[in-house]
Structures are given as C-alpha cells and as structure tokens.
Structure 1
C-alpha cells in the first residue's frame, strides 16, 4: 500500500473509544473502501475481538489510526489512569503524525453510560490543546435524526463537539450481506467529515500530566459528591432533632 505522503488530498484521522464500538471497521472502510474476510485491521461482529495494539494504516485518501479500546488493558502501574491510553500516547509521540480529526467513537445503543463521561474526560485531558479537531463518531447509526433526538444527553456527556454518524453493517459469516448498504454509507460518512474542514495537529502529549489532571478531577468530583451527601444528612438530622430541642429548651 502506498505511503500516505503520495496522496495529495490525504486526510488523517485517529479513532479512540471503548472496545466493540467499531473503530477497526471505521479504519478498514476508510483505507480499503469495504470490509472483507481478511482486513487490514481485524474486525468482528461481536465485542469479543479486542484490538491489542495501536497501528496507523494508509489507503485511498486516508491515513487512519486504530487504537486499543479504552479500558481493555489492565495495568499494574499507578502512573496512568488507563494503560491503553499510555500505549496510544507512546505510538503518537514516536510517529509525530498530524491528525485532521481526533474522533471519540461510541456505538448508538451505548450512549447513556456514566463510563463514557469518565472516559471522555480522560480523552480530553490526553489530547489537551487539540480540541478544535475533536469529533464524536456514532456507529451503527443508520438514521442521522438520532443525533437530533438525543442532542441533550450528547451535549451533557460530550459537550458541543461535532457529531458524525455512520452504519457499516457487517456479518463475519457472510461478507456479501448488506454489502451495498456499506458501500452507500461510506461516501455519506466521508461527506460529513469533509463538511468539517480541519488543519492537521501534531499531538504532543504527556501521559503523566494527563493522568494527574484526570485523577485530580475525579477526586474533586468525589469530594463534591461527599459534601453534597453530607450536607443532606446533616439537614435530615437537624430536621429530626430541632423539634425535640424546642420542646426541651428552657
């Protein structure tokens, strides 16, 4: 496959997100144009297939970085909030590639989870300084109106970043199944990206600083929750005791 420098209109995108959200399928569709029995990046129609490495691949007019799913790797070090993100940072620092799009990927039916909020906080801290290139990619989403219908919770969880949708139906046992739908959906996906022109950003990341920011934020959130609950308990106790204090007061 030709190196990305040979494509004059080459766009570069990195996919980050949990296991089973479709990062590898997105990578294959952009660089190959379709999904096959043997792909550049292994894909599965279940969440059992786990990407265990970070790899940048080139094809068509795209350079795509497929990453280890957040939360997939169990680490023993306390330096990092997520070993998968630490691995990603190392690969990006070694490659020094610029990316037009830094995509956090979710699956349509997995939107309403607290875990997404926490992982996206880690995502933002890790890619601090590249916020202008952030996008949210929603996979397994054949109807773009889904974004409008779920705008409130999307904003609450991810803020006001651009949202791009796609649906690349795939059956590992029958790759021809709904193939035309896949082929039709690809240009629609690319058109949404083209409508969001971005200049490439070379990511300069430090995971130790990132981990510290995230840990501090989680501590702050926990403390605020503790104080809120504590205040409620105190108010409840006082509401019970005050009538007795009034009765027995001199």
Structure 2
C-alpha cells in the first residue's frame, strides 16, 4: 500500500478548503461528507480537523490567521489547535497549501498569506498555492503577474469541483476529472514531508497599501488641523483688534 500523502489547507473561509479535503479523501462529494462544507463560518471562529481516505491525510483549518489578518492585536487562537494538528502529523506534511478562490486575489488574502508564511516556519519548500473554482490554467496564466506580486514564486495548482446538493450526480464527471488533474499536478511537485516549526506570530508589519492608507489619513488630518489652526488664529486676531480699538 502506498504511504499516505499528507496535506494541510489554509485559506479564507469559503475558499474551498473543506471541498478539497472531501474530494481527496473520498474521491467525490456526497450529501454527507467527511468534512462539512459551508460557505461561511456561522458560529465557528476556529477549527482544525484531520480526515483520511484513499491515499490522503488532509488537515482542514477554519479561522487560522483570519482574526489577526483583520487587525486584532492578539495571538490567533486557532494556532493552539494547529499545534495539536502538527503533532498528529508528526512525520510531517508533503504539502502545505494556501487556498484561494479564483478571482479573489484581494488585499485581505495577501495579509493572511503573510501570516501563513510566518506561521509555517521551516516548511517553505513544501508550500503550494491552490486556486479553486478554476477549471483550467488559462486564468492563472492571464493573471500571473498579479499572482506573483502577492504570492511570489510558489508552485501553483488549480481545481474546480462543481456541486449541486439537490442533484449530486450533476457535475460528477467534471469533479472526478478535476480531481485526477489536481493529483497529477501535486505529484509533479511532490516533496519529502517536513515538520514546520509553529510560530506564534503577531500581526505583520503594515502592507504597502495599509501604509498608503495610513499616510493619506495622516495627511488629511494634518490639513484639517492646519485649517483649524488658521481659522482659530484669524478669530484670535479679530478679537484682539476689537479689544484694542473699542
């Protein structure tokens, strides 16, 4: 029997991490999956779950880094759960995947990606970027400069698993074919398993965009303050004029 391929998924809520887990360990999506799929984190702030099946051991994370990416100056509580997951995968992970939904190369994703890199210290060689809802490489090629500016030179794979809860047979062939292609892409970039050193990170330094916004806010404040002082000075001179002449 082939050894299990271990993969851990990190990304924004709704990016498709749970669907990836289910496809890898089940071979297809079902009405009741190994890992519950949801478009939001209703009532769930953080969660880590390890599921196994076929030749895969997949670790799904919910909420990892999102609290800090939103600017909270605290250590992410999901890191505590992640520490347990890393112990469960004590022999290391073959892939440490950052998951992004196609078309959402947003600033918040960039901030979360900074936390991702700072969290999985020593495992950089096993990083992989996965674009979901992406049935071909054309979109990636068309947007490669933007992708590289945010995520650097990470290996990139893509997948698309359309699913209709009311008719699970709909799209089955596309899902199975996309899974086969995903596994082929991952096999091409296969690495030896690594055990990352979990880093309890604080929020990253301001991104260029954050710095620009802060600088603009400071500039506007300075202009407002200057105008206020100028008006105040005019009022003061007027009052003094009346005091001296009447």
Alignment of 1:26-65 (within 5 A): 26-44=20-38, 46-47=39-40, 52-65=46-59
Q: Which has the larger radius of gyration?
A: 2
Matched, 1:88 2:76: no
Once the two structures are superposed, residues 113-147 of structure 1 have per-residue CA deviations (whole angstroms, 9 ceiling, x without a partner) of 11011100000000121111001000000121111
Q: Does 1:146 align with 2:134?
A: no
Structure 2 partner of 1:22: 16
User: Is the alpha carbon distance of 1:233 and 1:126 closer, same or farther for their aligned partners in structure 2, counting shifts above 3 Å?
Assistant: same
| 1:109 match: secondary structure | coil
Distance in 1 of aligned mates of 2:66 and 2:211: 28
The alignment of Structure 1 onto Structure 2 pairs a total of residues equal to 220
Q: Does 1:156 align with 2:144?
A: no
What CA RMSD, in Å, does the superposition of the two structures yield over aligned residues? 3.1
Secondary structure of 2:7's counterpart equals strand
State whether residues 133 and 159 of structure 2, in contact with CA within 8 Å, keep that contact through their aligned partners in structure 1: yes
The runs of at least 4 consecutive aligned structure 1 residues that moved more than 6 Å come to 227-234
Map of 1:132-143 to 2, 5 A cutoff? 132-143=125-136
TM-superposed deviation, 1:95: 4.8
Say whether the 8 Å CA contact 2:51–2:58 is kept in structure 1.
yes
Alignment partner, residue 179 of structure 1: 172
**Contact 1:13–1:64 (CA under 8 A) maintained in structure 2:** yes
* Unmatched tracts of structure 2, length 5 or more: 227-246
TM-score by length of 1: 0.77
The partner residue of 2:107 within 103, 114, 118 is 114
TM-superposed deviation, 1:87: 2.8
The answer to whether the 8 A contact 1:120-1:158 is kept is yes
Asked if 1 retains the 8 angstrom alpha-carbon contact of 2:25 and 2:55, the reply is yes
8 Å CA contact 1:98, 1:200 repeated in 2: yes
Aligned equivalents of 1:95, 1:10: Cα separation in 2: 11
2:121–2:199: 8 Å Cα contact kept in structure 1?
no
Number of the residue aligned with 2:206: 218
Distance 2:218 2:46 in 1: 43
- Structure 1 runs not aligned, ≥5 long: 1-6, 238-250
Tell me, in whole angstroms, the C-alpha distance in 1 between the residues paired with 2:207 and 2:160: 38
